[in-house]
Amino acid sequence: MVSLEKKHKKNVFLHYKKLLDEHGFDPQSVGWGKKKGKQSVRFQILSEIGNLNNSTVLDVGCGFGDFYGFLKYKKINAKYLGIDILPEFIEIGKKIYPRAQLQVRDFQSKKFKQRFDWVFFSGISVGVNYKIIQKIMNEMFKICKNGIALNFVGGILDYKSKDIFYSKPEKIYSLSTTLSHRVSLRHDYMPFEFTIYIYKDNSKTDNLVFKNYLKTSNMSLNDYNWRPSHKLKIKK
């Protein structure tokens, strides 16, 4: 629920307003199904993009700000800002999470000058197409310091709803590589959804390994830490 093309924005607004009127404070109001527990899985996958502790986080299309609640529950100390175009979501969110920083804001028309360590978008599936998704991703990547994470409805499907835009993982991956060569696609946690991580720092070592990957994973480039000595002669 980020700012979209004008012809889409009104439909998106009305879509989520209708869901809110039907379901109230519930994951179904922000477009997720009625099965319990799946929102926790989505948030867990989003949070695994990197170390969020002592970082700044922007949650685009935050709904009620539930990602803030999840981070607090996981004891992740991040400075959180959630934005959404639906005032009713923000109004309820401020009551549920009084310490969360939540704003009614149109992401595309009122752009950020400040930068955030991590930028998230949970659920790009209504009133969009690949052109709009690319614009959203571009703006998110522009204002991030470390990376962005987004999740989508799509993949191998056995159902479809007329209100949902179903993204193809391979297409989203292709769009992501226009921003960075360091990209990770997660399609291992739910059959009809997937998440993309796009990292800002894609600098490489002389061995063509991403430097920041080595730094954050505490790995060594010395293969002989685990292989037998390369001086060992093997008879043919």
**Highest mean pLDDT: which range of 36-40, 45-49, 213-217:** 45-49
Q: What confidence score (pLDDT) does residue 83 get?
A: 96
Q: What confidence score (pLDDT) does residue 27 get?
A: 60
- Tell me whether residue 189 is exposed, middle or buried, using C-beta atoms within 10 angstroms of its C-beta: 0 to 12, 13 to 18, 19 or more: middle
Cβ atoms of 147 and 49 closer than 8 Å = yes
Please state the pTM of the whole predicted model.
Answer: 0.85
Q: What confidence score (pLDDT) does residue 1 get?
A: 45
- Residue with the bigger pLDDT between 184 and 225: it is 184
Lowest mean pLDDT among 31-40, 130-139, 198-207: 31-40
**pLDDT band for position 212 (cuts 50, 70, 90):** very high
pLDDT of 110 above 60: yes
**pLDDT band for position 186 (cuts 50, 70, 90):** very high
**pLDDT band for position 7 (cuts 50, 70, 90):** low
- Write out the two tokens for 218: 């505490």
Determine how β-strand 78-84 pairs with β-strand 55-60.
Answer: parallel
- Write out the two tokens for 149: 């994470």
116-131 pLDDT, tens per residue?
Answer: 999 999 988 777 889 9
**pLDDT band for position 2 (cuts 50, 70, 90):** very low
pLDDT of 221 above 90: no
Residue 170 neighbours by CB under 8 Å, 6+ apart: none
Q: What confidence score (pLDDT) does residue 151 get?
A: 95
Cβ atoms of 175 and 138 closer than 8 Å = no
Q: What confidence score (pLDDT) does residue 10 get?
A: 57
Domains and CATH numbers, the chain: 6-225 (3.40.50.150)
What integer is the mean pLDDT of 51-72? 96
pLDDT of 16 above 60: no
43-53 pLDDT, tens per residue?
Answer: 999 999 999 99
